[in-house]
Structure 1
Amino acid sequence: MIKKSFTLICILFFFSGFSQKIINKKINSEILGTARNIKIYIPEGYEKEANNNYPLAVVLDAEYLFDAYVGNSVLFAAKDKAPKQIIVGISMKDSRKRDTYININTGKLTQENIAFYEFINDDVIFYMESNYRTSPFISLIGEGTSANMITHFLKEPAPFINSYICINPTFPDFIGSQFQAYNLERFQKEDNTFYLYTNNSTSFSIKKQVKIGELQKGLSSLKLKNVNFINDTIFTVNSVSAMSEAIPRALTKVFEIYSAISKEEYDENVKELSPSDAIAYLENKYLEIEFLFGSNLGIREQDIYAIENIVIEKENGDQLKEFGRMILKLFPTSPLGDYYIGRYYESGKRIKKALYHYKIGYGKMDPSDPNSDAFYENILRISGQ
């Protein structure tokens, strides 16, 4: 209980600082035949970071989901666990039944459901992509019947939604066959990465738990290389608590690739790699971050250090030069790329080339950097050789 309260306090603390960044807008929709209110959150630094693009998150049920999602988004970005996001919330207070409620026995979309689906795609997403610097990565977030509506985007002929976050989903009775009709195997033909989050909860009725559990079991049996099924179960006493827990749990998995290499990631994906494969893994990680999220991070030093031992200790350090080149490619202002190239030449007794790269690396460092003296010692050590 204390842990959950602390998390909530953190979210409220960050939330208190972004109220001035909310834009309220009314979209006149020919599809709906009426106007609909939306709320847009623009992340801090958007105006200054003119070369950056940002993932787009579309939040349904904005009356109660928007603030919770934005609060978590700000916290995750501040902790470097996720990129900053542009977030748009769609107001559904007076239209939820018309927008997303379905016949639970048949699951067929009504004409109103179809119109709302097209409104999300043709009005809201089109408006956001036309007016803001969005990256290709799009998330849809919904709760209850809105979560079911989100899954229908899985049947798009050319999938363009990356992340489907279905919180406390209310599915029709034959949800299994509905998902079979989506033909998820075809996603493997797409040069992209996808995430589908669903949560079960002990607070649901037994019938609902069984229905979601059977769907999650079926999804877990699918082994699709670029589709990540996040089948969650939340042990709580009510659906509100389940919702508040589901958002950060979904963000943790959806943006897992963005975070620095964790011990779990290292043990599962990196530890047994050859030096060349470890270098390629790190390079691909940051290229994918830039492609998906529009975030040019350079490269985190802690990720460089994460694979350093593999490169140095395996294959007699023969890949140190390629390691340095990769770092210079992704993070040209870092002295570490020149350091590893210098170390490669030094190990081969090619002192002049080693000294050349050590000097270049040292020249990139701020004199106030506590590591600059240690770096300069490399120059002093080999200058007399």
Structure 2
Amino acid sequence: MIKKLLLMVIFLISGFIYSQTQYKRINSSKLKQEREIKIQLPRNYDENTEKIYPVIIVLDGDYLFEPMAGNVDYYSYWDEIPEAIVVGVNQAQTRVMDSFYDNQTFLPSDTGANFFEFLGMELLPYIDSNYRTSRFSVLAGHDLTANFINYYLFKDEPLFKAYINLSPELAPEMENWLVESLNTAQSKKWFYLATATNDEPSLKEGSELLDQQLKMIDNANLHYKFEVFQNATHYSLVAQALPKALESIFSPYRPINQKDYDTEIVNSGISPYDYLIDKYETIENNYGLELPVRLNDFLAIGKALEFNQRWYDLEKLGELAIDHLPDTMLGTYYLARSYEESGRSKKAMRTYQNAYGQQEIAFITTDFMLKKAEKIKEDFGY
């Protein structure tokens, strides 16, 4: 276990060598001062000039930026989440003033109101103007700042889609406001809440009471996740919660795995092809990302279609593979298999033969395809 943790730490540290971290000072008219921010750009950001990225803004950037940036770099390296632009807002000397709310209205006031406007009216537009961003943005905070990020949910059209609450120090009425806002949300929202068994008692109790209310909400637009980390403290829970939060928010993005295959695809009764189309439409609708279908996902869906003998859908998968991987044999193979199993043997033979000169891919080789064609020729005497 220790060796695995050490390897992960080494990987996270080395990831910063390949990712790009920038340190900037933004002159804010709302705050009437400069603010320090850190920006980690994805690997190969400069080379991928057409690619756009979600934005993750991290309050308490003095200590939350590095663990968030490291996790984003690590998980996106393995394509478990999309690559993202991570922005840390340093608040070492200002977090109490930045999180200030009125003692009567319990809403951001004075320095808190100014900071609220800085994030929404200055920082986020600055990132959108200077970097290639998608329409999906995440906001994360810890105790005081975790409470603060939730105020954005009370706007008619919230600027942020996802909220990571790490042991929030909830203001009075915040629980009721959150329940009302998330219960009536008209667009998709992601809300992650975490505490720990050894968290500050009042914060743990507040999080658990909030969870009791939020888990009762019946709103298809709300994606809610609550976790209590065993034996963790108010500070150590951060290291465990950040990867879980990212997994929860971006779960539809990840490639199809064995669990998905067994429970949602091959034995579900729905068409695996429809599952694939819906998956990539969900990625685009949720995160604003037009993602090419991964080879892994093609292979999983193709296997399921063959297992369930859905030959017409396999033909559609072949056409889709030709669109996404036009120079490879993948689409040709799926088309030929669908023709072969649906009684169009001569067309299948010719399609297998058409693979000659195309790029080999996965298990599909030139020799494999020509042998399939030859077998049909022998069987039917063509």
TM-score, length-scaled by structure 2: 0.89
Report the Cα distance in structure 2 between the residues aligned to 1:118 and 1:363, rounded to whole angstroms. 59
CA contact (8 A) 1:105 1:174 kept: no
Deviation at 1:106, TM superposition (A): 6.2
1:307 to 280, 301, 319: 301
Q: Which residue of the partner structure matches residue 258 of structure 1?
A: 253
Alpha-carbon distance change, 17 to 368 in structure 1, aligned in 2, over 3 angstroms: closer
Q: Which residue of the partner structure matches residue 9 of structure 2?
A: 8
Q: CA-to-partner distance for each residue in 1:4-54, whole Å, 9 max, x for gaps?
A: 555334322323544xx2222221111112221211111111111111111
SS at match of 2:30: coil
1:246 to 236, 241, 244: 241
Partner AA of 1:177 in structure 2: N
Report the Cα distance in structure 1 between the residues aligned to 2:259 and 2:101, rounded to whole angstroms. 41
Q: Which shifted more, 357-366 or 62-71?
A: 357-366
Identity of aligned residues (%): 27
Count of residues paired in the alignment: 378
CA contact (8 A) 1:106 1:172 kept: no
CA contact (8 A) 2:195 2:234 kept: no
SS at match of 1:22: strand
Do structure 1's residue 111 and structure 2's residue 107 form an aligned pair?
no
Q: CA-to-partner distance for each residue in 1:315-355, whole Å, 9 max, x for gaps?
A: 66343222323333444444322211211112233234323
SS at match of 1:45: coil
Q: Which residue of the partner structure matches residue 339 of structure 1?
A: 333
Report the Cα distance in structure 2 between the residues aligned to 1:336 and 1:137, rounded to whole angstroms. 32
Partner AA of 1:82 in structure 2: I
Q: Which shifted more, 215-224 or 333-342?
A: 333-342
Report the Cα distance in structure 2 between the residues aligned to 1:218 and 1:173, rounded to whole angstroms. 15
Q: Which residue of the partner structure matches residue 66 of structure 1?
A: 65
Report the Cα distance in structure 2 between the residues aligned to 1:222 and 1:329, rounded to whole angstroms. 41
Q: Which residue of the partner structure matches residue 365 of structure 1?
A: 359
Q: CA-to-partner distance for each residue in 1:179-230, whole Å, 9 max, x for gaps?
A: 1342x2333x33xx43111101112233322211111121111132232101
Partner AA of 1:219 in structure 2: L
Partner AA of 1:132 in structure 2: Y
Q: Which shifted more, 173-182 or 200-209?
A: 173-182
Partner AA of 2:16 in structure 1: F
Q: Which residue of the partner structure matches residue 184 of structure 2?
A: 186
CA contact (8 A) 2:52 2:132 kept: yes
Greater RCO structure (CA 8 Å; 6+ sep): 1
Partner AA of 2:83 in structure 1: K
Which residues in structure 2 correspond to 1:169-318 (within 5 Å)?
Answer: 169-182=168-181, 184-187=182-185, 189-190=186-187, 193-274=188-269, 277-293=271-287, 295-314=289-308, 317-318=311-312
Alpha-carbon distance change, 297 to 374 in structure 1, aligned in 2, over 3 angstroms: farther
2:368 to 341, 355, 374: 374
CA contact (8 A) 1:104 1:171 kept: no
CA contact (8 A) 2:58 2:141 kept: yes
CA contact (8 A) 1:106 1:174 kept: no
Q: Which shifted more, 65-74 or 342-351?
A: 342-351
CA contact (8 A) 1:143 1:169 kept: yes
SS at match of 2:236: helix
CA contact (8 A) 1:173 1:211 kept: no
Q: CA-to-partner distance for each residue in 1:249-306, whole Å, 9 max, x for gaps?
A: 111111211111123333443244345x321111121233345446554222332232
Partner AA of 2:368 in structure 1: A
Report the Cα distance in structure 2 between the residues aligned to 1:32 and 1:59, rounded to whole angstroms. 18
Report the Cα distance in structure 1 between the residues aligned to 2:343 and 2:107, rounded to whole angstroms. 73
CA contact (8 A) 1:104 1:172 kept: no
Partner AA of 1:282 in structure 2: L
SS at match of 1:171: coil
Partner AA of 2:183 in structure 1: E
Alpha-carbon distance change, 316 to 368 in structure 1, aligned in 2, over 3 angstroms: closer
Report the Cα distance in structure 1 between the residues aligned to 2:361 and 2:63, rounded to whole angstroms. 50
Alpha-carbon distance change, 167 to 283 in structure 1, aligned in 2, over 3 angstroms: same
Alpha-carbon distance change, 366 to 345 in structure 1, aligned in 2, over 3 angstroms: closer
* Aligned Cα root-mean-square deviation (Å): 2.6
Do structure 1's residue 321 and structure 2's residue 315 form an aligned pair?
yes
Alpha-carbon distance change, 185 to 269 in structure 1, aligned in 2, over 3 angstroms: farther
Alpha-carbon distance change, 334 to 108 in structure 1, aligned in 2, over 3 angstroms: same
Q: Which residue of the partner structure matches residue 30 of structure 2?
A: 31
Report the Cα distance in structure 2 between the residues aligned to 1:217 and 1:104, rounded to whole angstroms. 25
Alpha-carbon distance change, 353 to 370 in structure 1, aligned in 2, over 3 angstroms: closer
Report the Cα distance in structure 1 between the residues aligned to 2:95 and 2:361, rounded to whole angstroms. 60
